[in-house]
C-alpha cells in the first residue's frame, strides 16, 4: 500500500538548502509511490502563537428584537472558553477539539497529520531547536486529546502508529556538536525534541537527518549532502526507529523506573537513554542512530 508523507517545512527562502532538501524528499518519495503533502509554514503565514483565538465560539443567536432578520441569524462568537480569567491552553483546546471548535488552520493540519504514515520536519536549527513558526505548529497542532492525553503518552501516545523524523541544517560544524565540542553533544540537544515532543505523542522516531553547516561547505560538498539524503530516502520507510523506554517500565504512581528495571540495568556500562541515564555515562549516539 502506498504511504502518505507529510513534510512540515520551515524556511523563508525557496532557494535555501532546506528547500532543496524538502524538494528532494518530495521527488524521491513520490517516485516510490508515496503521496507527499507539504505544509510550507512561512508560505502559509502559519500563526505561531497559541492563544484563545485558536478556539471558536459556540453558535449564538442575537435576540435583539430590533435586529433585521439577516443580523438575527446564527453568528460565530470567538473566544468562548471555559475559564477566561484563568485561561489554560491545554485544557481549553482539548475541550474545543472534543467539541469541534478548534480554529480551521489547526484542524486542517490535524487532518493532514491523521492521514500521514510519516512526518518529516524540515528546518534550519535555530538556537539549538526548531524555528518559532515550527514550534507554533507543534504547540497548536499537537493538542491534548488529538496527539496525547495524560493516560496516553510516550509509548502509548495517540500517534504511535505513525513515524516522524527531524531533517535539519546546522550553522556549526559537526565537530562542534560532539561531546568535547563547543556546542556539546548533539544527542543531548535532540533529546527534548525527539523524546519530549515526538516520542511523547507516541511517534516512532526515525534517526535524524543532519546537514552539518551547509552554508560553510563547498558547492560540491552541498551536492554530496543532498545525494546522501536522496540515497537514504530510498529506504527511509523501512528504517528502524530510535529506541525509547516503554511506559510499562515506569511505576504509574511515582513515575519512576520500576525497581526490577533499575536492578536489571544496574551493572550496565551506559545509561538507558540520554535523558534517563541512571547516573551512568550517556549511551553513545542514542538520539542519532537506531539500535544504540
**Cβ neighbours of 283 (radius 10 Å):** 18
Strand partners, 38: 7
Check whether 84 has a pLDDT greater than 80.
no
Residue carrying C-alpha cell 512540515: 8
SS3 assignment, position 218: coil
pLDDT at 38: 98
Check whether 71 has a pLDDT greater than 60.
no
User: Closest by alpha carbon to 41, among 141, 181, 157?
Assistant: 141
60 or 203, greater pLDDT: 203
Which band of pLDDT confidence, cut at 50, 70 and 90, is reported for residue 67?
very low
Contact indicator for 163, 117 with CB cutoff of 8 Å: yes
Which band of pLDDT confidence, cut at 50, 70 and 90, is reported for residue 73?
very low
Q: What is the pLDDT of residues 242-276, one digit of tens each?
A: 999 999 999 999 999 999 999 999 999 999 999 99
Report the alpha-carbon angle 278-279-282, nearest 5: 85
pLDDT at 290: 87
Across the chain, mean pLDDT equals 91
C-alpha cell at 48: 505561531
pLDDT at 75: 39
pLDDT at 50: 96
Which residues are within 8 A (CB) of 92 and not within 5 positions of it... i.e. 6 or more apart? 52, 55, 81, 82, 83
Check whether 17 has a pLDDT greater than 70.
yes
Check whether 33 has a pLDDT greater than 60.
yes
What percent of the chain is helix, strand and coil (3-state, nearest 5)?
Answer: 35, 15, 50
Separation of alpha carbons 220 and 227, rounded Å: 11
pLDDT at 61: 30
The CA radius of gyration of the chain, in Å to the nearest whole number, is 22
Which band of pLDDT confidence, cut at 50, 70 and 90, is reported for residue 57?
confident
pLDDT at 60: 35
Q: Quick one: average pLDDT of 4-33?
A: 97
pLDDT at 86: 84
Separation of alpha carbons 182 and 184, rounded Å: 6
Q: What is the pLDDT of residues 195-211, one digit of tens each?
A: 999 999 999 999 999 99
Check whether 72 has a pLDDT greater than 70.
no
CATH architecture for the domain at 4-53+89-238: 3-Layer(aba) Sandwich (3.40)
Q: Is the Cα torsion angle 254, 255, 257, 258 positive or negative in sign?
A: positive
Q: How far is C-alpha 50 from the chain's CA centre?
A: 16
Separation of alpha carbons 79 and 58, rounded Å: 9
Check whether 137 has a pLDDT greater than 80.
yes
Check whether 58 has a pLDDT greater than 70.
no
Q: Name the least confident of 14-18, 81-85, 87-91.
A: 81-85
Check whether 164 has a pLDDT greater than 60.
yes
Which band of pLDDT confidence, cut at 50, 70 and 90, is reported for residue 134?
very high
C-alpha cell at 185: 553533544
Which residues are within 8 A (CB) of 191 and not within 5 positions of it... i.e. 6 or more apart? 273, 274, 275, 287
C-alpha cell at 107: 484542524
Contact indicator for 9, 41 with CB cutoff of 8 Å: yes
Which band of pLDDT confidence, cut at 50, 70 and 90, is reported for residue 1?
low
pLDDT at 56: 87
Separation of alpha carbons 209 and 226, rounded Å: 11
User: Closest by alpha carbon to 163, among 1, 30, 3?
Assistant: 3
Task: Provide the residue ranges of all domains of the chain, joining segments of one domain with +.
Answer: 4-53+89-238, 243-292
Which band of pLDDT confidence, cut at 50, 70 and 90, is reported for residue 138?
very high
Which residues are within 8 A (CB) of 217 and not within 5 positions of it... i.e. 6 or more apart? 225
Amino acid at each position: 500500500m502506498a504511504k502518505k508523507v507529510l513534510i512540515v517545512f520551515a524556511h523563508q527562502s525557496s532557494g535555501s538548502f532546506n528547500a532543496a532538501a524538502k524538494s528532494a524528499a518530495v521527488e524521491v518519495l513520490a517516485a516510490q509511490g508515496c503521496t507527499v503533502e507539504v505544509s510550507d509554514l512561512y508560505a502559509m503565514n502559519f500563526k505561531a502563537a497559541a492563544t484563545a483565538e485558536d478556539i471558536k465560539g459556540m453558535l449564538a443567536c442575537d435576540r435583539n428584537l430590533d435586529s433585521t432578520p439577516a443580523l438575527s441569524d446564527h453568528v460565530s462568537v470567538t473566544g468562548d472558553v471555559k475559564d477566561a480569567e484563568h485561561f489554560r491552553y491545554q485544557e481549553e483546546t482539548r475541550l474545543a477539539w472534543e467539541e469541534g471548535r478548534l480554529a480551521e488552520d489547526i484542524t486542517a493540519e490535524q487532518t493532514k497529520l491523521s492521514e500521514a504514515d510519516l512526518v518529516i520536519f524540515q528546518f534550519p536549527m535555530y538556537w539549538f531547536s526548531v524555528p518559532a513558526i515550527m514550534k507554533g505548529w507543534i504547540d497548536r497542532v499537537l493538542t491534548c486529546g488529538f496527539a496525547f492525553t495524560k493516560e496516553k503518552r510516550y509509548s502509548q501516545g495517540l500517534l504511535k502508529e505513525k513515524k516522524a523524523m527531524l531533517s535539519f541544517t546546522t550553522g556549526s560544524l559537526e565537530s562542534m556538536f560532539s561531546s568535547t565540542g563547543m556546542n556539546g553533544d548533539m544527542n543531548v540537544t535532540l533529546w527534548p525534541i525527539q523524546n519530549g515532543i515526538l516520542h511523547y505523542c507516541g511517534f516512532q522516531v526515525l534517526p535524524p537527518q543532519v546537514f552539518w553547516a551547509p552554508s560553510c561547505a563547498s558547492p560540491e560538498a552541498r551536492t554530496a549532502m543532498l545525494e546522501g539524503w536522496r540515497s537514504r530516502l530510498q529506504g527511509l520507510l523501512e528504517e528502524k526507529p530510535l529506541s525509547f523506554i516503554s511506559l510499562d517500565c515506569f511505576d504509574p504512581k511515582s513515575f519512576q523506573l520500576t525497581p526490577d528495571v533499575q536492578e536489571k540495568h544496574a551493572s550496565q556500562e551506559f545509561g538507558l537513554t540520554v535523558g534517563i541515564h541512571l547516573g551512568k555515562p550517556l549511551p553513545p549516539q542514542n538520539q542519532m542512530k537506531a539500535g544504540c
